[in-house]
Amino acid sequence: MGKKKKVKELEEFTLDFLRRHKKFDVTRDMLHTAMIHATGADGRTLNKTIEKLIRNEVIQEDNKGNLVLVVETTKRASNEGVIDINRHGTGFVTVEGYESDIRINRKRLGLALPGDTVTIRITGKDNRGRLEGKVLDIVKRGRSLYVGTFRQETRKSYVIEPDEKSAHIPFFVHPKNTKNAKTNDKVVFQLMEWVHPKYLPEAEVVDVLGEKGSNDAEILSILADNQLKSTFSKEAEDFCEKISWDVPEAEVKKRKDLRKELVFTIDPVDAKDFDDALSLSMMDNGNYYLGVHIADVTHYMQRGIPLDDEARDRATSVYLVDRVIPMLPEKLSNGVCSLRPKEDKLTYSCFMEVTPDGQVVDYSIDETVIHSKFRLTYEEAQEIIEGKKHKQLSDPIQKLVKLTDTLTEKRFRENAIDLHTPEPRFVLDDEGKPVDVIVKKQLKAHRLIEECMLLANRTVAEHIDAMRKNSGKKKDKELFPFFYRIHDKPNMERLGQVAEMLGTVGIQFKVNKNNIGARQINEVLEQVKGKSMEYTINDLILRSMAKAEYSPQNIGHFGLGFRHYAHFTSPIRRYPDVIVHRLLKKYSSSLPSYKYSDLKDLGTHCSEREKMAVTAERASIKLKQVEYMSSRIGEIFEGVVSGVTENGIYVLLKDNYCEGMIRISDLDDDYYIYDEKRHCLTGRNRGRTYILGSELKVKVVSTNPELRQIDFQLAN
């Protein structure tokens, strides 16, 4: 055995021994005895190994002569936060009480990986005056799954190069833990252990996704990178198989039977999971009688069963460019629960009596059974709205248009915000590569469904408020705890930055530091409507908003302008709706349901899973945009400046809404200076300025699907 290999073996043995016996006192003599028996090493070699590890601050010898790993002796610091690590290996930790992130040099990251909750010690400032620190301990790993590219280096040596968002350091894999992955395969892996920063962390491959660059491998990588699973457990699948397709007559007798009523669905052309259906009639007093009928998932999925556990863990369906990762197995999501036409289905319905001016004056929430008469796509519904005759649906749909127009006007009059951002849809070939980009049109039919769902969601939330009022204990949050969809007021600092940027292009947006109303935001949105910068401004304002969340603590919904709001209408694809159904059913029988503390924990969980799903959905769109532009290198497009930084200009293309960057190094006609206050780049010699909303022509020069980046240059 070579000298270097022998030394390496002794170091690994020492670290492994100390780690396994960290609860006991370990002296040099004890380590001598163990090592001599295991490796045959002599005392002199062992002492050299120990001294080297102490010198490198890997282990420590205390005043009693006990040897311990340094990471085991480090005391927790008072500064705790989540670490983000960039592609260069520099970490940044956000710590409460500090205005800026704490910068962590790669040599001081310890055993931290991106997303970990860590404790750090502030060590000083760098030459730019930024606070620097050192990771002392890992409080909690941020993720259980990582994604990377597998590579065989020698006959029995395997390494995984993580994707940029997963980790910043390669992992080694023991031959028994490769799961037969081949070089250049994309894999999902988990951390097994990491002894010390000087050594690579050890990984185990848990899934082989396919060859790097293939559509399946890249899409499944996005899922795994966001801790999302594409398959269901055997227990959940087995449970679904036992569910009958037929609606039992005994169950029908317990419910309001609507099977003879004119009930219909309107959904996207490619949808299979039909959550909601509608019915509408006119009352003798001239009011509308609107029925919103929702798939009764909770009838089939009781609390505590394996299927419910998995649905709760997922919390939401994920809609990627080329596939749907459902919250429920296909038999339920697309079959038993889906409100398919010409089939009896169990539903939970919200009936609302609505006046011609949009006021709900009466309502009921009932368990029902329906038999949908028609399934319309949005496009088919739009044709009927525009005058195409349909023997049975023309009249109810035209009445729905009149009602929902009134509801829309009422919402915006009462402080709802009217934000619009483009939704690109891709035409894919047989291999999943994009051949065209189509921007989804906003149809009247979309607004019709949206208003009906909003009204039902609002009504069930107000129902709980009425229950509390009737009990005489309205302020008792423990009484009838409920699961709200809440939306806080915008971040005023971010909104102030948006106002600054808008001011540079002549758009007045006055932001009061203490308060902001929907009216001021809508006025700005109205100013840019129809202009080239419309979607850019909409997106900037959207980013300044707080994220909508789930919580039993009701603070209202700022964006919608509602004091009470919940998610009731999509239990096939959202677990919060399942919770709301359970709460409503229990309360209708005067029975307790979830505790307030349960709902608080579920709110945090569901909100986090929703963010992961949205991140995955956006990543899949960005990936396809980059792939689409990869076949258009050298082509010229018209665009609008969507952002300006010291590094360059972000440009949004007008036709397909793909976004890329012109790097400042490629602006070679002048020396450009970034004006932080005006958010623009200005040429020092010629005075040319690039500012938000500037229109320009760009040429596609390069793309990077792995980093999901598009690079432009100015077109001559």
Q: What is the mean pLDDT of residues 103-108?
A: 90
Residue 458 has pLDDT above 90, yes or no: yes
pLDDT tens by residue, 222-262? 999 888 888 899 999 999 999 999 999 999 999 999 999 99
Q: How many CB atoms lie within 10 A of CB 291?
A: 24
Cβ(120)–Cβ(133) below 8 Å: yes
Tokens at 317, concatenated: 């369906």
- Beta strand residue intervals within 343-414, DSSP E: 344-354, 360-371, 374-377
498 lies in which domain range?
492-545
Supply the pLDDT for residue 663. 94
| CATH number, domain containing residue 108 | 2.40.50.690
344 and 246 housed in the same domain: yes
Residue 386 has pLDDT above 80, yes or no: yes
In the chain, the amino acid numbered 279 is: S
269 and 364 housed in the same domain: yes
| CATH number, domain containing residue 13 | 1.10.10.10
| CATH number, domain containing residue 181 | 2.40.50.700
pLDDT classification of 464: cutoffs 50, 70, 90: very high
475, burial (CB in 10 Å: exposed 0-12, middle 13-18, buried 19+): exposed
Query: Which of 19, 38, 73 delimits the end of a domain?
Result: 73
Supply the pLDDT for residue 78. 59
Range name among 74-83, 170-179, 512-521 with the lowest pLDDT average: 74-83
Range name among 128-132, 481-485, 589-593 with the lowest pLDDT average: 128-132
Whether 624 is in a domain gets the answer no
Tokens at 431, concatenated: 């291999």
Whether 112 is in a domain gets the answer yes
Supply the pLDDT for residue 66. 84
Whether 626 is in a domain gets the answer no
pLDDT greater at residue 26 or residue 427: 427
Supply the pLDDT for residue 6. 65
511 and 453 housed in the same domain: no
Supply the pLDDT for residue 128. 79
Q: What is the mean pLDDT of the chain?
A: 89
Supply the pLDDT for residue 265. 98
Whether 96 is in a domain gets the answer yes
Tally of structural domains, the chain: 6
pLDDT classification of 513: cutoffs 50, 70, 90: low
pLDDT classification of 76: cutoffs 50, 70, 90: very low
Helix then strand count (H, E) for the chain reads 18, 33
pLDDT greater at residue 543 or residue 269: 269
> Residue 213 phi/psi, 5° resolution?
100, -20
136 and 165 housed in the same domain: no
Q: How many CB atoms lie within 10 A of CB 163?
A: 20
Whether 418 is in a domain gets the answer yes
Residue 333 has pLDDT above 60, yes or no: yes
pLDDT classification of 526: cutoffs 50, 70, 90: confident
Residue 425 has pLDDT above 50, yes or no: yes
Supply the pLDDT for residue 476. 61
The β-bridge partners of 190 are 204
Supply the pLDDT for residue 1. 46
582 and 606 housed in the same domain: yes
pLDDT classification of 474: cutoffs 50, 70, 90: low
- State the pTM of this model: 0.84
Residues 358 and 222: their CA atoms lie apart, in Å, by 43
Q: Which residues contact residue 354 at a Cβ distance below 8 angstroms, ignoring those fewer than 6 apart?
A: 287, 288, 289, 290, 360, 361, 403, 407, 455
> Residue 145 phi/psi, 5° resolution?
-120, 145
39 and 158 housed in the same domain: no
Q: What is the mean pLDDT of residues 300-311?
A: 94
Range name among 78-92, 272-286, 468-482, 562-576 with the lowest pLDDT average: 468-482
Whether 526 is in a domain gets the answer yes
Residues 502 and 513: their CA atoms lie apart, in Å, by 17
Q: What is the mean pLDDT of residues 62-91?
A: 74
Residues 588 and 43: their CA atoms lie apart, in Å, by 77
Q: Percentage of the chain surpassing pLDDT 70?
A: 95
| CATH number, domain containing residue 709 | 2.40.50.140
DSSP summary character for residue 547: P
Residues 461 and 465: their CA atoms lie apart, in Å, by 7
Residues 171 and 195: their CA atoms lie apart, in Å, by 12
Supply the pLDDT for residue 77. 42
Supply the pLDDT for residue 75. 43
Residues 182 and 170: their CA atoms lie apart, in Å, by 16
447 and 479 housed in the same domain: yes
Whether 627 is in a domain gets the answer no
345 and 271 housed in the same domain: yes
Supply the pLDDT for residue 42. 72
pLDDT classification of 499: cutoffs 50, 70, 90: confident
Supply the pLDDT for residue 475. 60
404 and 275 housed in the same domain: yes
Range name among 51-65, 241-255, 534-548, 615-629 with the lowest pLDDT average: 51-65
pLDDT tens by residue, 680-697? 899 998 888 998 888 999
273 and 288 housed in the same domain: yes
13 and 122 housed in the same domain: no
Q: What is the mean pLDDT of residues 414-428?
A: 87
Query: Which of 73, 96, 115 delimits the end of a domain?
Result: 73
Cβ(456)–Cβ(569) below 8 Å: yes
Q: What is the mean pLDDT of residues 621-632?
A: 95
Residue 406 has pLDDT above 70, yes or no: yes
Supply the pLDDT for residue 538. 86
395 and 461 housed in the same domain: yes
Whether 27 is in a domain gets the answer yes
pLDDT tens by residue, 205-215? 999 999 998 99
Query: Which of 73, 91, 117 delimits the end of a domain?
Result: 73
